[in-house]
Amino acid sequence: MAIREVLIYPDSRLKEMAEDVQSLDDKAKQVIQDLLDTMEASGHSTGIAATQIGEPLRIVVADASKNKKCEDHHGRLIIINPEILKWEGMLQFREGCMSVPDFTGNVNRARKILIKFKDENFNERVIESEGFEAVLLQHETDHLDGTLFIDRVISKRTDLFRRKKYK
Ligand code: ZN
């Protein structure tokens, strides 16, 4: 187990397309543990994708319960090979990212999603997620395709905000 360095934009590895995980081998298990350790160590983070620690594998860990304002969630999720099957509705959310520490930005996301993935035992799960957690899972799944929230910000002129320090 290890706390890993989080890559910071514009590191080109953040733009990489991650590969599907074929089996729960030692490498995949190590990446999962490192993601959990790195998320925990940051304190505030509700999710992190493998591409953010320089591992181009389709693995994400997320924990919407760490956002005190989020009441509707599935707790800590280990998400392998995610596939969003359905998008419903729309909401605008002010997003931040450990890889983009200097900015937050307004992004349009689906309000509700149906997402399929493999869990930490490599069992298939399909869950419906709504609100903050749905936004979080869309943000993290985007990372696996090399997409950052700043690529989706509504307007770079009016919807991107500089911040002094990541909180
Ligand atoms: Zn992010």
Output the domain CATH number for residue 18: 3.90.45.10
Q: What is the pLDDT of residue 50?
A: 98
Q: What is the pLDDT of residue 165?
A: 63
Name the residue range of residue 104's domain: 12-162
Residue 146 to residues 43, 54, 134, 143, 152: CA-CA distances in angstroms?
24, 11, 19, 5, 12
Catalytic residue among 55, 95, 133, 140: 140
In the predicted structure, residue 90 carries a pLDDT above the cut 60: yes
Q: Is residue 2 part of a domain?
A: no
Q: Is residue 5 part of a domain?
A: no
Instruction: Report the predicted TM-score, pTM, of the whole model to 2 decimal places.
Output: 0.96
Q: Is residue 6 part of a domain?
A: no
Distance 45 CA to ligand 1 centre (A): 9
Catalytic status, residue 140: yes
Distance 98 CA to ligand 1 centre (A): 6
Distance 96 CA to ligand 1 centre (A): 7
Q: Is residue 26 part of a domain?
A: yes
Q: Is residue 101 part of a domain?
A: yes
* C-beta separation of 31 from 52 below 8 A: no
Q: Is residue 77 part of a domain?
A: yes
Written as one letter, the residue type at 155 is S
Domain count, the chain: 1
In the predicted structure, residue 104 carries a pLDDT above the cut 90: yes
Q: Is residue 63 part of a domain?
A: yes
In the predicted structure, residue 7 carries a pLDDT above the cut 70: yes
Q: Is residue 48 part of a domain?
A: yes
Separation between Cα atoms, residue 21 and residue 27, nearest integer Å: 10
Mean pLDDT of 36-42: 96
Query: Minimum mean pLDDT among 32-36, 73-77, 156-160: which range?
Result: 156-160
Percent of the chain at pLDDT exceeding 90: 94
Give the pLDDT band (50/70/90) at residue 95: very high
In the predicted structure, residue 166 carries a pLDDT above the cut 80: no
Distance 99 CA to ligand 1 centre (A): 6
Q: What is the pLDDT of residue 164?
A: 72
Separation between Cα atoms, residue 146 and residue 151, nearest integer Å: 10
